[in-house]
Amino acid sequence: MKFMRTNSSAVVLAVAIALGGASVTLAPQVLAATSTPAKPTVSKPMEKPFKAVQDAMNAKKWDEALSRLKEVEANPVRTPYDTFVMNQFFSFVYRQTGQTALAIPAYEAQLESGFLAQEDAERIAKGVAQLYYQEKDYAKAAEAGQKVIAAGKADDDMYTLVAQALYLQKDFPAVGSLLKGYVASQEAHGQTPKETTLALLTDASLRLRDNAAAISALQSMVRYYPKEENWSNLLTILRGENNTDIVTLNIYRLMRSTGTLKLGNDYNEMAQLAVKFGSPGESVAVIQEGMAAGAFTSSADKSAAEHQLQVSKGLADADRASLAKFEAEAKAAKTGEADVRLGQALASYDQHEKALEAYQRGIAKGGLRNGDEAQILLGITLLHLGKKEEAVAAFGATKGIDPKLANLARLWAVQARH
């Protein structure tokens, strides 16, 4: 049986790149209130020139203030502290007159002066990175922001700014390296990464064709932000992997639960796989859901769905008729595989209480074809019965014999909690 495959290029990621949206508040210290414990003051020869600058600023005569500052800048008797104060005023006036590119060097000079208190230095260092970003000088923005990160003073917004600056330079390896470590650190400390951070990491990983990193980021996204779009992006990528048919069927089951099973081709394939693995009742329900959702839009899909529905209904009728006999045989069997298949059939006919008994009996007996899938099926039935905590425990009891199914079980646990 040949199945059509879902194209992983269908993944759509909304990556928020803020162009020029940074907000910076950087104002000069007044002359009488410097930031250092020693409280240095301007030199005697500079008192009058600085007073003239300040008077012009108070009157909002920015051109005059700049002219006065240029005179101060040309005066050779300036002390280092005079220069520091001069750059405070330069940065403020340039910001007031919209000359951000000229304000940045004045702020950087303040950082290098040694006169800033630590709190002010941290604030201005962050502001410089933001100003470079506003000016779309992304290389300088990233460089300035990485200095803040290296100093251990970066907040979430600074990591986002640096990541976006690197992203806009198409330096996707640097984005991935920065955000992988940051997200891991946040999660290790019980913090919730921003959705924008995870989206940037996912997008950069996909551009690097690093599906493992993209899947990891998207798994965090559905854990913290279980929106349909995030589930769709994750399951589309998982669906595009090289999977066994049993893994593919269980991906479809999770897609169905999260509301992300949308395409007629996927409904048809899931129905075919359900029949292949002994669940015709599930196949009927899937095709009927697809028809109700209007998923079969092409004539080929509609024809395939109608044919599959008739085949599945015939198999389901025969299956129902033999359930009593099959139940007796399953109970008498020494191993649990028949019990698990019985549970799957019963669940597909909405007999979830009886399905639960069959699954539990089969898992207890052991000797299963795929114990990890049995735990997933048990968890799904517990969810149908409203037993969320028990379902989470069932999903968590997978042994990891099939790593992909064990990963799906962890995702089912996320779905159960939400």
Q: Are residues 270 and 297 in the same domain?
A: yes
Q: Are residues 290 and 363 in the same domain?
A: no
- Tell me the CA distances in angstroms from 306 to 249, 286, 291, 312, one per residue in order: 20, 12, 9, 10
Q: Are residues 405 and 370 in the same domain?
A: yes
- Of 35-44, 106-115, 397-406, give the lowest mean pLDDT range: 35-44
Q: Are residues 236 and 269 in the same domain?
A: no
Mean pLDDT of 212-220: 96
Name the band, by pLDDT with cuts 50, 70 and 90, for residue 38: low
Name the band, by pLDDT with cuts 50, 70 and 90, for residue 6: very low
Mean pLDDT of 154-159: 94
Mean pLDDT of 82-94: 96
Residue 415 within any structural domain of the chain: yes
Range of the domain at 235: 1-16+165-242
Q: Are residues 229 and 264 in the same domain?
A: no
Q: State the SS3 of the chain.
A: CCCCCCCHHHCCCCCCCCCCCCCCCCCCCCCCCCCCCCCCCCCHHHHHHHHHHHHHHHCCCHHHHHHHHHHHHHCCCCCHHHHHHHHHHHHHHHHHCCCHHHHHHHHHHHHHHCCCCHHHHHHHHHHHHHHHHHCCCHHHHHHHHHHHHHCCCCCHHHHHHHHHHHHHCCCHHHHHHHHHHHHHHHHHCCCCCCHHHHHHHHHHHHHCCCHHHHHHHHHHHHHHCCCHHHHHHHHHHHHCCCCCHHHHHHHHHHHHHHCCCCCHHHHHHHHHHHHHCCCHHHHHHHHHHHHHCCCCCCHHHHHHHHHHHHHHHHHHHHHHHCHHHHHHHHHHCCCCHHHHHHHHHHHHCCCHHHHHHHHHHHHHHCCCCCHHHHHHHHHHHHHHCCCHHHHHHHHHCCCCCCHHHHHHHHHHHHHHHC
Mean pLDDT of 394-403: 94
Q: Is the confidence at residue 111, as pLDDT, over 50?
A: yes
Name the band, by pLDDT with cuts 50, 70 and 90, for residue 418: confident
Neighbours of 290 (CB within 10 A): 27
Q: Is the confidence at residue 23, as pLDDT, over 60?
A: no
Residue 74 within any structural domain of the chain: yes
Q: Are residues 79 and 64 in the same domain?
A: yes
Per residue in 268-307, pLDDT (tens digit) is: 999 999 999 999 999 999 999 999 999 999 999 999 999 9
Q: Are residues 180 and 236 in the same domain?
A: yes
Give the pLDDT of residue 174. 98
Which of the listed residues 242, 264, 280 is the one where a domain comes to its end? 242
Q: Are residues 302 and 344 in the same domain?
A: no
Give the pLDDT of residue 46. 94
Per residue in 321-343, pLDDT (tens digit) is: 999 999 999 999 999 999 999 99
The tally of domains found in the chain comes to 4
Give the pLDDT of residue 36. 43
CATH number, residue 3: 1.25.40
Which of the listed residues 242, 266, 301 is the one where a domain comes to its end? 242
- Verdict on whether the full-model pTM lies above 0.85: no
Give the pLDDT of residue 236. 96
Q: What is the mean pLDDT of the chain?
A: 91
Residue 217 within any structural domain of the chain: yes
Q: Are residues 184 and 277 in the same domain?
A: no
Residue 149 within any structural domain of the chain: no
Residue 224 within any structural domain of the chain: yes
Residue 86 within any structural domain of the chain: yes
CATH number, residue 395: 1.25.40.10
% of the chain residues with pLDDT over 90: 90
Mean pLDDT of 387-414: 96
Q: Are residues 279 and 204 in the same domain?
A: no
Which of the listed residues 135, 152, 184 is the one where a domain comes to its end? 135
Nearest Cα to 149, choosing from 126, 168, 165? 126
Place of tokens 């012009």: 56
